[in-house]
Amino acid sequence: MKAGARVLGIAESYRGKQSTLAGVVVCANRAVDGFVFGSCTVGGTDATAAVGALFERLDREDIRLLLVAGIAPAWFNILDLHAINEATDRPVLSVTFEESDGLEAAISEHFEGEDRERRLETYRTQPPRRAVSVGAETVFVRTVGLEPDRTREIVRTLTPDGGRPEPVRIARQAARAVDRFRRQ
């Protein structure tokens, strides 16, 4: 990535029925260049639209890609990476930090009927997770709109140490700070 390229990192924090979404614009050189906040429903199905709304509210043509923390924020509010890619016309990466067998069993356990089927359908259409080594750490990435080699390069560029890409690390901190502020 070129030093001036910008990434929108998105992460969440939740307490109660609403999840705070934070978006942070980070340059490839890791300089922070903007924030945006929103929310989605815990246990709902509005996270995909909420992520698109964050991007739209920023109204910044210089953002080259979106990097989201996870695929199921706000208690299984499954993100549709393909829909986000279409809505933003930007590549989308979802990064997680633990190896797992996936979410199908957990979705099936916690939801019934149409709620379960809608989540499973969205989840099953997402790209597979691929392991990316970052120093001594491994992260797991789903990508829409980027080739695997380019994905690895971007994740490594955005991850100085600690195994968490800066845009989502900072976005998580911002979301948590907003939640703490709201509870005061």
**Each residue's pLDDT tens digit in the chain (184 positions)?**
776 789 999 999 998 899 999 999 999 888 999 999 999 999 999 999 999 999 999 999 999 999 999 999 999 999 999 999 999 999 999 999 999 999 999 999 999 999 999 999 999 999 999 999 998 999 999 999 999 999 999 999 999 887 899 999 999 999 999 999 988 8
Q: How many whole angstroms separate alpha carbon 53 and alpha carbon 23?
A: 11
For residue 89, the tally of other CB atoms under 10 A from its CB is 8
Q: How many whole angstroms separate alpha carbon 45 and alpha carbon 118?
A: 9
Those residues whose C-beta lies under 8 Å from the C-beta of residue 184, and which sit 6 or more positions away, are none
Give me the pLDDT at residue 4, please. Answer: 76
Give domain limits for the chain: 6-183
Q: How many whole angstroms separate alpha carbon 14 and alpha carbon 50?
A: 14
Q: What is the CATH number of domain 6-183?
A: 3.30.2170.10
What's the predicted TM-score (pTM) here?
0.96
Q: How many whole angstroms separate alpha carbon 142 and alpha carbon 63?
A: 19
Q: How many whole angstroms separate alpha carbon 85 and alpha carbon 153?
A: 19
Give me the pLDDT at residue 57, please. Answer: 98
Q: For the chain, what percentages of helix, strand and coil (3-state, to nearest 5) are there?
A: 40, 30, 30
Tokens representing residue 173 in the block:
């901190």
Give me the pLDDT at residue 183, please. Answer: 84
Give me the pLDDT at residue 76, please. Answer: 97
CA separation, residue 55 to residues 37, 71, 160 (Å): 10, 17, 25
Give me the pLDDT at residue 123, please. Answer: 98
Q: How many whole angstroms separate alpha carbon 173 and alpha carbon 175?
A: 6
Matching residue, tokens 């995909």 = 48
Are residues 133 and 141 in contact, defined by beta-carbon separation less than 8 angstroms? no
Give me the pLDDT at residue 69, please. Answer: 98
CA separation, residue 48 to residues 5, 41, 73 (Å): 24, 11, 10
Give me the pLDDT at residue 116, please. Answer: 97
